Structure 1
Amino acid sequence: MDKRILVPTDFSKNALNAVRYALDLYKKLHCEFYFLNVFRLDSYTTSSLLVPEPGSAEYEKAKAKSEEEFAKLLEMIALHQDNHKHSYYTISSFNFLSEALKQTIAHKDIDLVIMGTQGASGTKGVIFGSNTVNTMEKVRACPVLAIPENVRYTSPKEIVFPTDYKSTYKRKELNYLLEIAQLHQAHIRVIYVSKKMDLTEEQENNKRLLKEILETVDHSFHTICEKDISYGITSFAESKKSDMIAFINRKHYFFGSIFSRPLVKEIGYNATVPILALH
Structure 2
Amino acid sequence: MKNILIPTDFSENAWNAIKYALQMFNDEKCTFYFLNTYTPALVSSRFMAASFEGGVLSNAASMLSENGLKEILVKVEDLGPNRKHTYKTISSFSLLVDEVMDTVANYDIDLVVMGTKGATGLEEVFMGSNTVRIIKTVKDCPILAIPNTYEFTRPKEIAFATNFNRFYTKSELKPLVDMAASLGAVVRIVYVQYEIKALSELQQFNLSMLRKYLKDVEHYVHTVSELNSVSKTLEKFSEELGIHLLALLNFQHSYLERLTREPVVSRLAFHSKTPLFVIPELSMATQSRSKSQDEFTFSN
TM-score class, shorter: 0.7 to 0.9
Letter in 1 for 2:206: N
What are the equivalent positions in structure 2 for 1:155-174 lying under 5 Å apart? 155-174=154-173
Letter in 1 for 2:116: T
Identify the residue that residue 150 of structure 1 maps to in structure 2: 149
Identify the residue that residue 283 of structure 2 maps to in structure 1: none
TM-score after normalising by structure 2: 0.82
Task: Give the deviation of 1:253 after TM superposition.
Answer: 3.8
Tell me, yes or no, if the aligned pair for 1:23 and 1:81 is still in contact at 8 Å. Answer: no
What are the equivalent positions in structure 2 for 1:102-113 lying under 5 Å apart? 102-113=101-112
What are the equivalent positions in structure 2 for 1:61-140 lying under 5 Å apart? 61-119=60-118, 125-126=124-125, 128-140=127-139
RMSD across aligned C-alpha pairs, in angstroms? 2.4
Measure, in 1, the Cα distance between the counterparts of 2:108 and 2:86. 15
Task: Give the deviation of 1:174 after TM superposition.
Answer: 1.7
Distance change >3 Å, CA 96–CA 154, structure 1 → 2: same
Measure, in 2, the Cα distance between the counterparts of 1:142 and 1:236. 26
Identify the residue that residue 275 of structure 2 maps to in structure 1: 274
Identify the residue that residue 226 of structure 1 maps to in structure 2: 226
Query: What per-residue deviation string (whole Å, max 9, x for no partner) do you get for residues 201-259 of structure 1?
Result: 11111101000111122211111133643232221111001111111110344432344
TM-score after normalising by structure 1: 0.87
Moved more, 89-98 or 63-72: 63-72
Identify the residue that residue 214 of structure 1 maps to in structure 2: 214
Query: What per-residue deviation string (whole Å, max 9, x for no partner) do you get for residues 47-87 of structure 1?
Result: xxx986xxxxx543221221111111111111114311111
Identify the residue that residue 24 of structure 2 maps to in structure 1: 25
Distance change >3 Å, CA 234–CA 44, structure 1 → 2: closer
Identify the residue that residue 249 of structure 2 maps to in structure 1: 248
Q: Could you say what secondary structure the match of 2:215 adopts?
A: helix
Percent pairwise identity:
35
Tell me, yes or no, if the aligned pair for 1:127 and 1:265 is still in contact at 8 Å. Answer: no
Tell me, yes or no, if the aligned pair for 1:38 and 1:96 is still in contact at 8 Å. Answer: yes
Q: Which runs of 4+ in 1 moved over 6 A?
A: none
Moved more, 178-187 or 130-139: 178-187
The unaligned stretches of length 5 or more in structure 2 are 45-53, 281-300
Identify the residue that residue 204 of structure 2 maps to in structure 1: 204
Moved more, 88-97 or 179-188: 179-188
Moved more, 229-238 or 156-165: 229-238
Tell me, yes or no, if the aligned pair for 1:117 and 1:132 is still in contact at 8 Å. Answer: yes
Task: Give the deviation of 1:40 after TM superposition.
Answer: 2.9
Task: Give the deviation of 1:122 after TM superposition.
Answer: 5.4
Give the count of matched residue pairs: 266
Measure, in 1, the Cα distance between the counterparts of 2:225 and 2:253. 24
Tell me, yes or no, if the aligned pair for 1:7 and 1:115 is still in contact at 8 Å. Answer: yes
Measure, in 1, the Cα distance between the counterparts of 2:260 and 2:269. 9
Identify the residue that residue 298 of structure 2 maps to in structure 1: none
Measure, in 2, the Cα distance between the counterparts of 1:176 and 1:273. 18
1:184 aligns with 2:183: yes
Distance change >3 Å, CA 92–CA 200, structure 1 → 2: same
Identify the residue that residue 55 of structure 1 maps to in structure 2: none
